[in-house]
Amino acid sequence: MKVDVLVAEIGSTTTVVNAFHHIHSENPQFIGQGQATTSVEAGDVRIGLQNSIDDLKNNLGVKDLSYDEMFATSSAAGGLKMTVHGLVFDMTARAAKEAALGAGAIVRFVTAGKLRRTDLKKIQEINPNIILLAGGVDYGERETALENAEKILDLNLKIPVIYAGNIENDEEIKLIFEGSQQELMVVENVFPKIDELNVEPTRKVIQKVFENHIVHAPGMSHVYDMVNETITPTPASVMNMCKLIYERIGDVLVIDVGGATTDVHSVTEGNEAISRIQVAPEPVAKRTVEGDLGMYVNSQNVIDIVGKDVLEKEGFNVDTLLANYQFIPRTEEEKRFIVRLTEAATLTAVYRHAGKLRHVYGPSGRATLAQGKDLTRIQYIIGTGGALTQLPDGEKILKKIVQKEKTKDMLLPAGEVTILMDYQYILASLGVLAYKYEAAALKLLEGSLNMTLPVKEALEDEEP
């Protein structure tokens, strides 16, 4: 059997391969899915890839399977590790962090101001895939970024450095790295003016660097022996799809509960009234990653959040369940347990992602300010990832996001909200597919969400 496209999602615990056919027609088809354990620890990601393809063949009932193109998303081998260094924590450092997270990175370390010896030591210990250097609005403070650039160069890490700070430093930064073995990319400032974010140029460069350097990650050196198209960080692929959904149907919130992390993506400009009292700007497209909330690698953290005693009162024998714990549940009791943990991870991650109203007191009395991402205009909440889409009660869990009895000061979705599920668990795969086949990806998304997306031109005609 031959198909047009395979898309592999190489995760921290599992590798999933999705098959698509008739990709060049008006009616592309999702053919099937296979999965296997990710094999980075075995030193070769191809083992897990081939095992997942074998599982796909078994599910399709075929002996042979070939393909024209194979794309991939990856969060394996520790994902895309980055450190971020800016001038002021709530300004350039935060803007740089937003850019990195939106590109699918795991931000392991953020600093503000001049790097100290302890900071440099920590960077060496983290050994990031990319270093992002920012600092200063355009034509503002210059020296901090320049000094930090020289200190980073002295570390001799031989990893890519992206500079996205004060435009006046661009040529000076190039001179600092001139003749070194360290790859340097200079992009537009992530924080060019006070209260103005400009994260998209940096996001695009991060994703390009990731694809160019993915083969250097442990176990990934031969990945291009099988993959002949784009490799994208899995969260960046999800974010790409979120942006396309936003363009077609409106403000959207996507929750991805995985084996190691829980990611929340939102694309919304928020409420105009809230924006007038915001203490700092927020990107339209925002991602947060909760590295302590996962269904397998970090399940103990989620248990601690709920409380072992609470779980036992709810009828779970926690010790017995943990003794036999697998990332794919086998019994109904194990499924019920993971569903309960999924609920806790989902709500905790969304509450951390959402902004809050703050009440402050001054000479003129009490004033209300908003801090963080405003989700009040969200129209659609979409669940993806194995835990939400492949186990029962995913929709019930997502509906609890809009129940606000204990969260009245949080900027959570308000009004009518539509709950959608990525039933075929292909949203991340469609995100990377959309870079080349946008129309086909959106058509396939309709099948997974069980809804028809409005045509973009029709939406534009409705605008006054």
The pLDDT of residue 217: 67
HSE value, Cβ hemisphere, 13 Å, CA-based, for 130: 32
The pLDDT of residue 116: 96
Q: What is the mean pLDDT of residues 105-110?
A: 88
Domain locations in the chain?
A: 2-77+218-225, 80-216, 233-462
Residue type, 364: S
* The CATH number of the domain covering residues in 80-216: 3.40.50.2300
pLDDT of 404 strictly over 70: no
Looking at residue 354, the DSSP 8-state letter turns out to be: B
- Rounded Cα distance, 358 and 371, in Å: 7
Q: What is the mean pLDDT of residues 177-198?
A: 92
Q: What is the mean pLDDT of residues 405-421?
A: 85
pLDDT category of residue 455 using cuts at 50, 70 and 90: low
Lowest mean pLDDT among 314-318, 397-401, 412-416, 424-428: 412-416
Q: What is the mean pLDDT of residues 78-95?
A: 86
Q: What is the pLDDT of residues 366-401, one digit of tens each?
A: 889 998 999 999 999 999 988 899 888 999 999 999
The pLDDT of residue 406: 57
Nearest to 174 by CA among 166, 164, 186: 186
* Residues 6 or more apart in contact with residue 343 via CB below 8 angstroms: 393, 397, 400
Percentage of the chain with pLDDT > 70?
A: 95
- Rounded Cα distance, 464 and 42, in Å: 58
- Rounded Cα distance, 134 and 263, in Å: 25
Please state, rounded to an integer, the average pLDDT across all residues of the chain: 89
Angstrom CA distances, 416 to 123, 301, 374, stand at 45, 33, 16
pLDDT of 215 strictly over 70: no
DSSP for 58-113 reads: HHHT-S--EEEEEEEEE--TT-EEEEEEESSIIIIIHHHHHHHHHTTEEEEEEEES
pTM of the predicted model as reported, rounded to 2 decimal places? 0.85
The pLDDT of residue 7: 96
Query: What is the topology classification, in CATH, of domain 2-77+218-225?
Result: Nucleotidyltransferase; domain 5 (3.30.420)
The pLDDT of residue 464: 38
Q: What is the pLDDT of residues 329-371, one digit of tens each?
A: 888 999 999 999 999 999 999 999 999 998 888 788 888 999 8
- Rounded Cα distance, 338 and 295, in Å: 7
- Rounded Cα distance, 458 and 83, in Å: 43
The pLDDT of residue 76: 64
Q: What is the pLDDT of residues 12-37, one digit of tens each?
A: 778 899 999 999 999 999 999 999 98
Nearest to 104 by CA among 227, 231, 278: 231
pLDDT of 132 strictly over 90: yes
Nearest to 138 by CA among 199, 187, 197, 193: 193
More confident residue, 94 or 133: 133
More confident residue, 187 or 261: 187
pLDDT of 240 strictly over 90: yes
pLDDT of 462 strictly over 50: no
User: How many Cβ atoms from other residues are within 10 Å of residue 307's Cβ?
Assistant: 11
Strand order in the sheet with 231-233: 29-37, 14-21, 2-10, 66-74, 231-233
- Rounded Cα distance, 131 and 84, in Å: 6
Q: What is the pLDDT of residues 44-55, one digit of tens each?
A: 888 999 999 999
Q: What is the mean pLDDT of residues 242-259?
A: 93
pLDDT category of residue 79 using cuts at 50, 70 and 90: low
The pLDDT of residue 380: 95
Quick check: 170 and 186 in contact, CB under 8 A? Answer: yes
